[in-house]
Amino acid sequence: MKALRFHGAGDLRLEELPLPDPAPGEVRIRPQAVGICGTDAHIFRGEFPSAAPVVLGHEIGGVVDAVGASVQNLREGDLVTVQPNTFCGVCRFCQGGREHLCERMRAYGVHMDGGFAEAMVADARNVYRLPQGIGARIGCFAEPLACCVHGMDRLAVRSGATVLVIGAGAVGLMLTRLARLAGAGRITVSEPDEQRRAAAEAFGADRTAAPDALDGEFDYVIDAVGSRPTFEQAVARAARGGSILVFGVAPAHATATVSPYEIFARELTIVGSLINPYTHARAVELLAQMGLEKLNVQTFPLAQYGEAFEAQARPAGAMKVVFLPQE
């Protein structure tokens, strides 16, 4: 089978690998649509820890084509999505019910072979059947949507409160939609690209603005980009008593300058959001309500991985880049 394997910073290769067979408790999946996540781009540039060599890709929609012994919940032909993270089960975080903070967490597409391939295997416990009428091209959004659901759980938006979302990429748009579903009052989206600002309105924003034209303060601020400027903007735009969600993944070495006094005097709350603990099933149920068919998605076969990662890196243009590994 063909697979796109990471060998080190800047080194991706399209290779021929043996077709994997599912072990007991596993299924083999033929990925049909796999999104390029910002984390994939960070891994490619050497900015995020991962294993090497490893097949990247953790935003997976596909079809089950082989079932290992003892698997009861899935059968061949099922359209599925994958919750990519696995946990050790014995560290203090796992035993305390916070598995997503596991000290030895491993993930398909980061530490174990993932979905940028014509086939992959996954533990059946990590595989979720898609609802009827939801295909793989929408199903591949279940993983990032599950992360967004966890972020919104952390932020706990109150009905009628004002919300600022910084960034109108795919996750910014999903967070905007979730804020609207949560009953937020006035939602503003800060985004430099005009086309993405228009998309934010379609996903529920009441107002959009370029970063240099933004004014006002907000009860809740979401940094959906992950950078020094956007984090500093988030802190600056939070109202007294406001809460800030750091959602976008910044490079591991990035730093920002904030005033501890401002956090104290304005009684700000800053929360992080890591992956998707126990929210994948909820995300699957939400897929039909998210309007994801409105996203400007650009698709590529695996062989055009160079062009795909270039498209993902462009600040304007497609809101999401997706591999179609069977093409």
Task: List the alpha helices (DSSP H) in the chain.
Answer: 38-44, 92-95, 136-139, 142-155, 170-181, 194-202, 228-237, 260-265, 280-286, 305-313
Binned at pLDDT 50, 70 and 90, residue 42 comes out as confident
Query: Token pair of 120, please?
Result: 């992959």
Mean pLDDT (whole number) for 25-51: 93
Predicted pLDDT of residue 71: 97
Residue range(s) in the chain whose domain bears CATH number 3.40.50.720:
146-272
The pLDDT score that the predictor gives to residue 74 is: 98
Q: Averaged over 5-29, what is the pLDDT?
A: 97
What pLDDT does residue 160 have? 98
A 10 A CB-CB count for 267 gives 10
H helical segments located in 140-193: 142-155, 170-181
On the question of pLDDT at 166 being above 80, the answer is yes
Res. 325: pLDDT tops 80: yes
* pLDDT confidence of residue 269: 98
Q: What is the pLDDT of residue 261?
A: 97
The stretch 116-125 carries a mean pLDDT of 98
pLDDT of 198: 96
Beta bridge mates, 4: 14
312 vs 322: CA distance, rounded Å: 9
> Does residue 48 carry a pLDDT above 90?
no
pLDDT above 90 (res 289): yes
CB neighbours of 11 closer than 8 A, spacing ≥ 6?
none
pLDDT of 54 > 80? The answer is yes
Q: For 129-155, how does the pLDDT look when each residue is reduced to its tens digit (9 = 90+)?
A: 999 999 999 999 999 999 999 999 999
Q: What is the mean pLDDT of the chain?
A: 96
* pLDDT surpassing 80 at residue 316: no
pLDDT at 46: 87
pLDDT tens for 178-192 read: 999 999 999 999 999
Residue 251 pLDDT: 82
Name the superfamily (CATH) of residues 146-272: NAD(P)-binding Rossmann-like Domain (3.40.50.720)
Question: Residue 240 has what pLDDT?
Answer: 98
CATH match of 2-141+290-323 with 3.90.180.10: yes
Domain boundaries for CATH 3.90.180.10 within the chain: 2-141+290-323
**Which pLDDT value is given to residue 123?**
98
* Mean pLDDT of the region 260-273: 97
**Average pLDDT, integer, range 261-288:** 97
Q: What is the pLDDT of residue 317?
A: 75
Q: How far apart are the first and last CA of the chain?
A: 12
Q: What local confidence, expressed as pLDDT, does residue 49 receive? A: 80
Give residue 184's pLDDT.
98
Q: Smallest Cα–Cα separation from 321: which of 304, 306, 300?
A: 300
pLDDT value, residue 218 = 98
d(CA 184, CA 9): 41
- The confidence band for 194, taking pLDDT boundaries of 50, 70 and 90, is very high
206-249 residue pLDDT tens: 999 999 999 999 999 999 999 999 999 999 999 999 999 999 98
